[in-house]
Amino acid sequence: MKIGIVGFQGDVEEHAQMLDIISEKRGEKIEVVRIRKMDDIKDLSGIIMPGGESTTIYKLIQEYGIYDEIIKAVKERGIPLMGTCAGIIIASGNTNDERVRGMGLLDIEIERNAYGRQHESFIEEVNIRGIGNFPAVFIRAPAIKSTGDVEILASLKDKAIMVRKDNVIGLTFHPELTDDTRVHEYFIGMIGGGGTISSGEHEMKVRS
């Protein structure tokens, strides 16, 4: 299994560490590819667009020809994609930011930085359908202002924070900043056309 992480900026290594932990736990090799050029998208089993600065990530994936290649991989080849924080902004249909053209992979409208500035970051335990209670980390997080044809997997204060449409999931929070691997396991489960995980013990700690 080969999973690519858009590798220009943001929580790239944190996602890679999660995949390494799952690989070791399952005894299955997960090869992690940092996507920085078009050829890196070939032969991938899944793609992660991490949190970071959406305008910077968008500019670089356009500059290096990766933007359209990701859309083709997801829509034409059925490759599962997970977008977290900045990643869900780029995957959305409406970013509400003239600097970032959404990929239209999720029928949602985004409200940027809806939960405040960096110093207003917070952790909230939320219930995710198919996963259970999960420590969601919000850092300068966007909000999903409205949803169209998507399945809402988790909400916070009547706002969707995790959605899915077929082979694409988007989260406004950062699962990679915890020691809980279940969201990433859910994503890996999507590679086989599913998206469920076995229940079990998990950590509720948050990485500093």
Which regions of 112-158 does DSSP assign to beta strands (E)?
A: 122-128, 132-138, 143-147, 151-156
CB distance 178 to 137 below 8 Å: yes
Cα distance between residue 168 and residue 47, in whole Å? 10
From 14, 111, 174, 184, the catalytic residue = 174
| Active site annotation includes 119 | no
Two tokens at 76? 């034409």
From 85, 111, 184, 185, the catalytic residue = 85
| Active site annotation includes 176 | yes
Of the candidates 175, 177, 173, 182, the one whose C-alpha atom is nearest the C-alpha of residue 155 is 173
CB distance 121 to 86 below 8 Å: no
Question: Of all residues in the chain, what percent are helix, strand and coil, respectively (each to 5)?
Answer: 30, 30, 40
CB distance 16 to 178 below 8 Å: no
From 14, 176, 184, 185, the catalytic residue = 176
Secondary structure class of 163 (helix, strand, coil): strand
∠ CA(170), CA(176), CA(179), 5° rounding?
135
Two tokens at 57? 């990530």
CB distance 139 to 84 below 8 Å: no
Catalytic positions, please? 85, 174, 176
